[in-house]
Structure 1
C-alpha cells in the first residue's frame, strides 16, 4: 500500500478527531491529551507500526522544531484570551508563581536530581529547568475562556498567565545548565556572561520586541482607516502571522521568542481590548494548536507503547517523578501563593496543576544539541514518565476540579447579588 495514501487517510482521521473529540469529552472525566496518547499507543502497538517510532534522541532538530512551533502557537492563544490588563496588583498571583514558586521548584528538583539520580550539577540543573515551566499546550482545560467570555477566575487566570510567561523565563536556567556543561572541563568563568546575556539582554529584548510587535500590529489591525484595517478581513489565520513575526524578530535580535510571542498577544489585546476580531484570532490559534498537539501526542503515545521512551526508566526516576508532581511543585506553589489572600482550596488547585508536557520536550531537545549532558536516555525516560503521569493525573481530575471551583464562584456571585438586593430594599 502506498505510504502517501496511508498518510492521507491517517491525517483525515486525525483532523476529524480534532474537531469531534473536544465536544464528546466536554463533560467526561477525560482530557483530549489522554485520548491522543491512548490512540497513539493503540496504533503503534501493532508489530508493523512499532518500527515507525524512533527515539527522539535520534532526531533532536526535528523534535525541537515541532515542539517549538506548538508552544509558540499555544502562547499566542493564551495571551489573546487574557482579558485582564497587565497591572502589578491584579497580576500578583502570576508574579508570585514566577518569582517565588518557579525558582523554588527548580532548586528542589535540582537537589533531588543530584541526590536521588546521582546527576552532576549541570545535568541536575537541566532536568530541573526543563520541568520547571507549566505547559501552555496541555493546560487548555484549566485556562481562562475565549476573549471577553467572562471566564476569568483567579485560578484560571493564574494558571494561564503563569503558563504564558514561565516558558520564556525557564530559558535562562536552561542556558545556565548548558554553560555549566560546557565549562565543566575547562573551569572558565561563565556567570557574568550568563547573567548579562542569557538573563538581562535576552529577557529585556524579548519583552521589548513583544510590546513593539503587538502594538504595531494592533495599529495595523484596528487603527488604520476603515477600508484598510486588517481586522475587516475576518481572517483568523492572521494570528499565525503575528506569532511568526513576534517569535522571528525576537530571535533575530537575540531575545527570547517565547516571551515575545506571549507579550505581543497581550499588547495586541491592549490595542483594542474588546474587538470581535480577537475571538477569531484566538479560535484559529486554538484550532491549529489542538491539531498539532494531537499529532505530537499520538506520536508520544506510540513511543510509549513501543518502549523506546521508557527503556531507560529506573525506580529512582519513578521516585523523582512522583516527588516532582506531588511534593515539589505543590509545595513551591503553596509557598509562593502564601499571603495573596486566596482561599486554601484555590491555592491548592493552582499549586497542584503544574502540568508538564510539550514545553519540557522542547527544552530538552534544545539543550542536548548545545551541551554535553550525562545519560540522555535517562533524561528522556524520566521526563516522559513525568509527562505521561501528568497527562493522566491532571487530565482525569481537571474537569471535576474546575466544575467545583466554578460552582463555588457562581454561588458567591449569587450571594453577593442577593446581599446587594436586600441592602437596596
Structure 2
C-alpha cells in the first residue's frame, strides 16, 4: 500500500528516477509516431502538477528570475549541441542560406510581429517590440527534430543544415532587439538619447565580443582536447568537456559584456574545426544531448503544469489569430523571401520556411526583458508567448515526422528501411554509433 504521507525527499527521488527513465525511453518509443517528445512532456506535466498531493504553482509569471536562469541553462547547452552537430566546414560562401535567414527572415519577422502586436493585440510599441524579439528567432532546444544528426553521421542536407545553423546563431542575434525594447521602455520617461549607445554597445560591441570570446575559448579548448602534448582531454573519453566549454564560453563572453549565446555556438564551431574528424566529437555531443534532454523535459513538465493551472486562461480569438499569423504566415513568408536566389529545390525552401519553431528561447528572452525593463503588459506578454509556443509544439511537433520523412524520400533516402538511421534530434537520440565502425 502506497504511503502518501512519505518524506517529500523520497517522493522527489522516485519522481526523478521515473523522469530519467522517460528521458531514455520516450524518444525511442516515439521514433516512428507522428507525435513529438515535447507534446508528451506537456501532457505529463499537466497531469502530474495537478495531482492532489503534488499540485503546486509553477507559473513562469510568478517565478521570473528562476524562469530566466533555467531557460538560459537549457538554451546554452542546446547551442553547444547544435554547434557540435554541424559537419559542414565553416566557409562564408557555403553558409549563404544561414546568412539569408539571419539577415532577411529575422529582421522582417521582427518588423512584422511588432506591427501585428501594436495593431491587432493593442500592445504598446515597447511591448510589441519585446514580443517580436522573443518570437522572431527559432528555438535551438525544441527544433532538434529538424536539425542535423550527431557528428559524422552523414546526410547533412540543406534543410537540416539551414535550420540547425539558423537556430544556433539567431538566438544571439535577436538579443539587440530585446535590449532595444528595454532601452526604449527605460528612456520613455527621461527622454535621454539612446540611439548611439544602443547601436555602439548592444548592436556592435556585444555581437563582436561574443564572436571573439567564443572563438578564443573554442581554440583553447580545441588545443587542450586534441593537440595538447601528453594527456589531451580527448584521451579521457569523457564528453563532459563539452559542458565545461559551454559554461566557460558563456561566462567569459558575459564577463566581457558580449552575447553569451553567440559565444557558446561559436565555441562549438571552433571546437569542431580544430580536429574536425575526431571521434571524440561524438562523445561530447552525446553527453550534451543527454543533459539537454533531461533539463528540457523538466522545463516542459513544469510548463505543462502551468498550462493546466490556467496560464492561458485569458486567451481570446485575437490572441489565437495573432499566434497563427506569426507561425503560419509571417515566418513562412519571410522565410521564402530569404530563399529567393538560393540553390535549393522548392520543397526544401518550403520546409525551411515552415519550420520556424518557437520554444524555450522565447521564454528566456521574455523573462530577461521583463526582469530588466519596465513593461506594464507583462502578464499579457506571457500569455501570448506561451500560446505561440504551445501552438508551435503542436503544429510543428505533429508535422515533423511526416514532413522530414517526405524530405528524406525526395533525396533518395528511405527512413523506414530496415536498419535505417533514426531521424536526428529528440525523436531519435538512440541512433547507433556507427561512425566508429566505418
The equivalent residue for 1:230 is 233
The equivalent residue for 2:417 is none
Establish whether residue 19 from structure 1 lines up as the match of residue 24 from structure 2: yes
CA offsets 1:287-339 (integer angstroms, 9 cap, x no match): 000000000000001111111x1123232211110110010011110101111
Q: Could you tell me how far apart the structure 2 residues matched to 1:400 and 1:135 are? A: 20
Establish whether residue 284 from structure 1 lines up as the match of residue 287 from structure 2: yes
- Conserved? CA contact 1:119–1:374, under 8 Å: no
CA offsets 1:24-48 (integer angstroms, 9 cap, x no match): 1111111111111111012123344
The offset of 1:89, in angstroms, is 1.7
Q: Could you tell me how far apart the structure 2 residues matched to 1:237 and 1:151 are? A: 26
Q: Could you tell me how far apart the structure 1 residues matched to 2:139 and 2:196 are? A: 30
- Conserved? CA contact 2:129–2:178, under 8 Å: yes
1:341-356 equivalences in 2 (<5 Å): 341-356=343-358
- Conserved? CA contact 1:42–1:302, under 8 Å: yes
User: In structure 2, which of residues 304, 307, 326 is the aligned counterpart of residue 304 of structure 1?
Assistant: 307
Q: Could you tell me how far apart the structure 1 residues matched to 2:100 and 2:123 are? A: 29
The equivalent residue for 1:134 is 138
Gap regions ≥5 residues in structure 2: 1-5, 415-438
TM-score w.r.t. the length of structure 1 is: 0.95
The equivalent residue for 1:37 is 42
| CA RMSD, Structure 1 to Structure 2 (Å) | 1.1
Equivalent position SS for 2:285: helix
Equivalent position SS for 1:228: coil
Q: Could you tell me how far apart the structure 2 residues matched to 1:54 and 1:244 are? A: 26
Equivalent position SS for 2:94: coil
- Conserved? CA contact 2:85–2:148, under 8 Å: yes
Q: Could you tell me how far apart the structure 2 residues matched to 1:357 and 1:344 are? A: 26
The equivalent residue for 1:388 is 390
User: In structure 2, which of residues 54, 57, 64 is the aligned counterpart of residue 49 of structure 1?
Assistant: 54
Equivalent position SS for 2:92: coil
The offset of 1:411, in angstroms, is 6.2
Higher helix share: 1
Q: Could you tell me how far apart the structure 1 residues matched to 2:145 and 2:112 are? A: 27
The equivalent residue for 1:408 is 410
Establish whether residue 264 from structure 1 lines up as the match of residue 264 from structure 2: no
Establish whether residue 250 from structure 1 lines up as the match of residue 259 from structure 2: no
The equivalent residue for 1:151 is 155
Equivalent position SS for 1:89: helix
Q: Could you tell me how far apart the structure 2 residues matched to 1:86 and 1:273 are? A: 11
- Conserved? CA contact 2:110–2:133, under 8 Å: yes
TM-score w.r.t. the length of structure 2 is: 0.92
CA offsets 1:236-257 (integer angstroms, 9 cap, x no match): 1111100000000000010000
The offset of 1:108, in angstroms, is 0.3
CA offsets 1:317-368 (integer angstroms, 9 cap, x no match): 1111011001001111010111102111111111110000000000101010
The equivalent residue for 1:415 is none
The equivalent residue for 1:100 is 104
CA offsets 1:373-415 (integer angstroms, 9 cap, x no match): 1321111111111101100110111011111111111269xxx
Q: Could you tell me how far apart the structure 2 residues matched to 1:240 and 1:151 are? A: 26
User: In structure 1, which of residues 215, 219, 233 is the aligned counterpart of residue 219 of structure 2?
Assistant: 215
The equivalent residue for 1:337 is 339
Q: Could you tell me how far apart the structure 2 residues matched to 1:215 and 1:266 are? A: 10
Q: Could you tell me how far apart the structure 1 residues matched to 2:363 and 2:59 are? A: 12
The equivalent residue for 1:294 is 297
Q: Could you tell me how far apart the structure 2 residues matched to 1:124 and 1:197 are? A: 22
Q: Could you tell me how far apart the structure 1 residues matched to 2:219 and 2:152 are? A: 20
